Structure 1
Amino acid sequence: MILSARDWLENIRALPLAGRVRIMNVCGGHERSITMAGLRGALPQNVELIPGPGCPVCVCPEEDVSHAIQLALHAGVILVAFGDMLRVPVNGPKSEPRSLEQAKAAGADIRPVSSPQEAVKIARENPQWPVVFFVAGFETTTAPVAAMLIEGIPDNLFLLLSCRLTWPAVAMLLDSGKPGFDALVAPGHVATVMGPEEWAFVVEQHAIPTAIAGFTPVSLLAAMYSVLRQLIEKKFFLDNCYPEVVRPGGNATAQAQLKQALQISDANWRGIGIIPASGFALATRFERHDARKKFGAFETGRHKRVGEMPPGCDCARVVLGKIYPNECKLFGTACTPRTPVGPCMVSEEGACRIWRSTGARVPPSGVNARN
């Protein structure tokens, strides 16, 4: 029997929940679906949904964005990047461009792309120019980049890589001793590539119920029902509520390409700090395409808050699930989708952008993620 979203809601409402339950949804796509479908308002008041660290644009290091800006302005390159990255602000002097969008307005040749193939096409069409592909993303974005490298890219195409693995951020929250959530809804698109087994550590090492979900209300509600029932029965396991796409072992071809083209490295997450083994770097065989090695670093010491969020911005605490977006004092006033101050208001997967764009203003029942 196939259950509808209404069926899952009725099942959830029938559960004998003893008190408040905090469920973290890791994925920015999940947060968008939850907010647009109004699931927070439909769930019992004691079920709290907390947005987690699932937006690669939000955690891309400020110094990487600054490096891309300086390359575009001063290295004589064509710089291409996914569209969201063009509006991410950095902590630079007001007299200088503080986003790729502003650098483009100042004359730099910066072009938005929607796929690695577009970057390859631009490089082939402009053989006389070095082309730098500034790429930020999680595993699902990184896998096509790895495939692009293995298939072969033009000699004039270089990568400024700022890609991250998802699970180490969750592991960091759990290892902190105060994770701030009782159950986890894991990202279905990441599990599609990397396999659902990657999330087993949440259950096995931390005794926290976990379910993998897709992006429909039906899949999300099924995952929420699963983890809530696990909590009630005190029988914790990893549940796959996205079986039509997520298979045991994941996508073996994509994983093999990631291993061939890239290597795992420690990585900085904006506003959070270094998370061990949470980033991707080019494998030795592709280092000739490393923009950092080709063009060198640009001086960013003049920036007073390198690596931090802008003054007054609480994006880091939003990403870590410690506050809701509307609890940032800049939310909806100085910081809006039209005039973003922090990265969480830029991306379509940023919690602040999602909340503001869909009209969400206050957490349900006045609760917040800190308590």
Structure 2
Amino acid sequence: MSLTAPQWLEKIRALPLSSKVKIMNVCGGHERAITMAGLRSVLPAQIELIPGPGCPVCICPEEDIYTAIQLALKEKITLVTFGDMLRVPVNVSKKSARSLEQAKAMGADIRPIASPLEALQIAQQQPKQTIVFFAAGFETTIAPVAALIAQGIPNNLLILLSGRLTWPAVALLLETGVAFDALIAPGHVATVMGAEEWQFVVEKYHLPAAIAGFTPESLLAALYSILRQLIEQNYFLDNCYPQVVKPKGNPTAQRYLSTTMMIVDANWRGIGMIPVSGFSLKESQADARVQFPDYAQETRQRRGEMPPGCDCAQVLLGHIYPNQCRLYGNACTPRSPVGPCMVSDEGACRIWWAGGVR
């Protein structure tokens, strides 16, 4: 019989924790679940939960968003994208469109969608119109895009891809010495790519790790596991989300990804270039960048740069908490976001604000 959240909490409180333990939770979904459940307020004071870089909207490079804005404004296309992407700002003058939302207000045909199938349906309904699907996300989001392409898409549907792999960012943090003692690995990513993908955290960096789901019970089970590992100094990868996460992941999704995508070095907003961390389309006919080459502006690759005054990059890297950003709650709020961390439902700043942190 599985334990309830209060029972897991009781077991955690009974552990002999002698010093502060810093645990990074990579996934934006985990951060939302932790904050909304108020876990930080009920855990022992020695446990410090650090949000990580697991928000695809937050790390989507400025140049990709800028390309999408310019395509929508200057070409006779319909641009579709996931709703969170509409409000992400780029660094341009106030006279220019700073987001897809502003470009839409200026007359561009931009439509929010909830799934890749909606992009396909729009393309099928308007066969004479070019539809550009601006697809940003991690493995969980990009796998359905890969399936869509593998199963065949109409000629009028193009993909502007900004896909990223999660594990290379965590490896970068560990290589550059970001201080945390254990890792909660993302459950949805592990569902696609497999639990074994996170074994490197234990084997190479000698840290305890656990894969968690998105309920308080699963998160607390993962916390209990890695705390026990630290106390006993016996480190391993624990799968606390066995209902959906298997050791090898989802072979069908992985096959679609390998058939349609290449793995390339990729820029992460606020972090910079990370080796082998991005997806690129194999099929040039479906690639919006190939079909509209004039919009690739290398000069907009502002690696590591956020809007002026915004500390979102430091939040993504686990250096500071969201409410330690200079603009948090002042110039930057969900109603008027300055940085991408305040835009997305998976952005740590937006989550903390929704959770009542002021």
Given the alignment, which residue of 258, 262, 284 partners 1:287? Answer: 284
What is the CA–CA distance in structure 2 between the aligned matches of 1:102 and 1:302, rounded to whole Å? 22
> How far is 1:360 from its partner?
2.1
1:143-162 correspondence to structure 2 within 5 Å: 143-162=143-162
1:189 corresponds to which residue? Answer: 188
Q: How does 1:318-337 map to 2 (within 5 A)?
A: 318-337=315-334
Match of 1:368 in 2: none
For residues 306 and 179 of structure 1, the distance between their equivalents in structure 2, rounded to whole angstroms, comes to 19
Give distance in 2, aligned partners of 1:35 and 1:227. Answer: 19
Of 344, 347, 352, which aligns to 1:350? 347
What displacement does 1:287 show? 1.1
Q: Deviations over 1:119-173 (max 9, x none)?
A: 0111111122211100100000000000000111010111110000000000000
The residue number in structure 1 matching 2:294 is 297
CA distance in 1, matches of 2:130, 2:41: 51
Asked if the contact 1:262/1:281 (under 8 Å) is kept, the reply is: yes
Equivalent position SS for 2:171: helix
Q: Verify: 1:313 aligned to 2:274, yes or no.
A: no
Q: How far apart in 2 are the matches of 1:19 and 1:307?
A: 33
Tell me how far apart the structure 1 counterparts of residues 72 and 79 of structure 2 sit (CA, whole Å): 6
Whichever residue aligns with residue 91 of structure 1, its letter is N
Contact kept? 1:67, 1:297, Cα under 8 Å: no
Tell me: CA distance 1:160–1:47, structure 2 relative to 1, closer, same or farther (3 Å).
same
Contact 1:91 1:304 (8 Å CA) reproduced? no
1:51 aligns with 2:56: no
Amino acid at match of 1:313: C
Alignment of 1:60-139 (within 5 A): 60-139=60-139
What is the aligned partner in structure 2 of residue 29 from structure 1? 29
- Relative to structure 1, is the Cα distance of residues 17 and 302 closer, same or farther in structure 2, using a 3 angstrom cutoff? closer
C-alpha distance in 1 between matches for 2:164 and 2:2: 36
Equivalent pair of 2:61/2:301 in contact (CA under 8 Å): no
How many Å apart are 1:307 and its aligned residue?
A: 6.4
Find the counterpart in structure 1 of residue 202 from structure 2. 203
Distance 2:83 2:50 in 1: 26
The AA in structure 2 aligned to 1:270 is: R
Which residue of the partner structure matches residue 229 of structure 1? 228
Following TM superposition, where does structure 1 have runs of at least 4 consecutive aligned residues deviating by more than 2 angstroms? Answer: 297-307
Q: What amino acid is aligned across from residue 345 of structure 1 in structure 2?
A: M
Alpha-carbon contact 2:195-2:239 (below 8 Å) kept: yes
Of all paired residues, the percent bearing the same amino acid is 67
Distance 1:227 1:4 in 2: 18
CA RMSD of aligned residues (A): 1.3
1:261 aligns with 2:260: yes
Whole-angstrom CA distance in 2 between matches of 1:173 and 1:29: 19
CA contact (8 A) 1:82 1:114 kept: yes
Alpha-carbon deviation of 1:207?
0.5
Alpha-carbon distance in 2 for matches of 1:350, 1:245:
24
Give the corresponding residue for 1:339: 336
Q: 1:263 to 1:300 in 2, by over 3 A?
A: closer
State whether structure 2 residue 272 is matched by structure 1 residue 273: yes
SS of corresponding position for 1:6 = helix
How many aligned residue pairs are there?
358
- AA partner of residue 178 (structure 2): P
Change beyond 3 A, Cα 1:246–1:71: same
TM-score, normalised with respect to structure 2: 0.98
Letter paired with 2:37: A
**Amino acid of the structure 2 residue aligned with 1:180:** A
Aligned-partner Cα distance in 2 for 1:306–1:2: 45
Contact 2:31 2:51 in 1 (8 A): yes
Deviating more after overlay: 301-310 vs 145-154: 301-310
Task: Give the distance between the partners of 1:45 and 1:14, measured in 2 at CA.
Answer: 13
Structure 2 CA distance for aligned equivalents of residues 303 and 295 of structure 1: 17
Deviation digits for residues 22-74 of structure 1 (CA, Å, limit 9, x no counterpart): 00000000000000000000000010000001100000000100000000000
Conserved? CA contact 2:181–2:207, under 8 Å: yes
| CA displacement at 1:265 relative to structure 2 | 0.5
Match of 2:41 in 1: 41
Question: Deviation of residue 245 (structure 1)?
Answer: 1.0
What's the counterpart of residue 168 of structure 2?
168
- Provide the rounded CA distance (Å) in 1 between the counterparts of 2:313 and 2:56: 12
Q: In the aligned structure 2, how far is the partner of 1:141 from the partner of 1:303?
A: 25
* Structure 1 unaligned residues grouped into runs of 5+: 362-371
